[in-house]
Chain A
Amino acid sequence: MVIDDSRAMRMILKRIVAKLNFEAIEAGDGQEALDLLATMTEVPELALIDWNMPNMNGLEFVTKVRAEPRLREMTLVMVTTESEQSQIVRALAAGAHEYVIKPFTEGAMIEKLALLGLVPTGANS
């Protein structure tokens, strides 16, 4: 799942995860993402989440997801401009598994996903 209020950023992320054989479902904010998840029978493996979004921000989304047993298996990666140490700590404490600071290069994103075991062996940027 790619959750960001910027369509441009969603496009960048979609392209990257497509290289890793992921099909991306898009949402423009945390609430939209939760609504979509409620309708899905198969929970996505991975969510790339922006922080600052209207309606429900990324931190709230992460908190809500981690509270729901059905969504336990989702790997949650923040992708955001929020780059203060304290913000990263907050996100990790709320249950995010990894954190990517914008701007990020494609190689960096793929490496972060590799850290989480989400890159099929042989895939290379």
Chain B
Amino acid sequence: MSEPTATALTAGSLLVAAVATVAVGAYGVRLSRTTSDFLVASRAVGARWNAAAISGEYLSAASFLGVAGLIAKYGADALWYPVGFTAGYLGLLLFVSAPLRRTGAYTVPDFAEFRLGSARLRKVAMIVVVTVCIFYLIPQYQGAGIALKALLGVPVWIGPVAVGGIVIVNVVGGGMRSITFVQAFQYWLKLTAVAVPALALLMHFGHEHPQLGGPLPPTVDQQTVVAVETDVVVTVADPAGVTVSGPTYDGSLPGAGQYTLPAGTTLTLAAGSRTPVVAGAPASGSEWIKSGGGLGGKHPLYQVFSIMVATFLGAMGLPHVLVRFYTNRDGRAARRTALSVITLLSLFYLFPVLLGVFARLYVPQLLITGKADAAVLLLPSAAIGGLPGELLGALVAAGAIAAFLATSSGLLVSIAGALSTDVLRGRVRDFRMVALIAGLIPIPLSVVAPVLELSRGVGLAFAVAASTLCPLLVLGIWWRGLTAAGAIAGLVLGALASGVAILVATTGWVDDDVLGGWLTTLIGYPAAVTVPLAFATMVVVSRLTKGDVPPDVARIFARMHVPERLGMGVERVPRG
């Protein structure tokens, strides 16, 4: 992508997407006056608008880029990510949406205080909210850096600065009211940006019809040079046509097998040669197309189940998603919003799956370094030559930037909402100040933090959300026996267990073979253990502190579950 026209087209489309985002946001800014506008868009968002906004916000870079990358790399078992990301909204619909809206709270910590009447629990919940949001914000900023680097060749720090800047402008300007329009607009932009290239490639594919499930790795159809930037272990199934130049090997490889390629190595693949594949990922097409291979590492069946737990329950614990349900008019609209989100996500996820399949066919060289996140960005111009390919590439780039912007702005509103009402006095001025600071802090963090694959990184943030806020909400809404002490214990233990797992997983301190590989697998996919742990802790500690059940729990339950028509609802507002 170093041709000048392609770069100019891409830069132009990125600029258009960014300007459109700020312009749409500015439209909302004119409507935003009160604190309620900034926190919950004055609770006047209709179900369809809200569903588009939630989908726009939820389809982060992990969905837009990461899902296709994972499917290109790991095949059938990676399909569980999009399924889980969608099924999470069914969980939200069944257990959370309407009662959550009927509490009349304005942030998740406010829900905690409403339900259990404890200022200390509110503080703990606030810290968890801010932590989850920052865990989620960092991969977004990093993704922006990687994408801009791959597209335009600029240094990695440009992406976080650009995305951070635009998001701060919109959130500081108009808060929730403003980003509702932005996110709804970005859902449709992303859908277009992923659907048009996928359908174009589908026609191309139907024309040529290459084989997918064959016994051998994919081939490159023209001579390809790949530079290795970080050490990588690859599986070579067929060394014919593969030449290496670097510190350890020089010339052609002696035979099939596993090779460690240190940074600085350059691989040259002759036209028609079989692509080496990063170790741990299925090399042959027949392995790739089969279910049950997992996502690298051992114990694939456990991995799949843990992904299910994290994604099915994680959506119920994502603060930026939950807070959007407060913007609906009533519980009925909240339920309809959740159902519409399922429709919009189902429509969207068809296309990243297609792009993942095509990426394996047309840009298999990305499998060598394992950096498959760039697949969607590089695919159109690699598969379809000339101007059409470049135009499609520019469209995808615009969609990617929309993904970073939409999710980041939702996260920033959540952080600003929680901090400004819990630490400061919750005036518009406080919201704006917190949004500015909280938007700036992750920028340097995203540059220094280790980079995970987008979907893996976001998957881990899901694991934290599912192990903390999900049990708080589900038990809080349905179980009268919950106490503040139980909720705090569960939040703290769930956050610690999943947080430590993430820390160890990203630093890679644990050897892969300890305890038959179980330790690495548990740390890499912690949800199946940490979620039941958090639920159990909340229940057990609540039982032990039975006397602390709030005395007015009956009234609170009536308010959460009785339809609004009875007139029991009260809309809570910050004290400031």
Do A and B originate from a single complex?
Answer: no
Taking Cβ atoms with an 8 Å cutoff, the residues of A that contact B are none
Residues of chain B whose beta carbon lies under 8 Å from any beta carbon of chain A: none
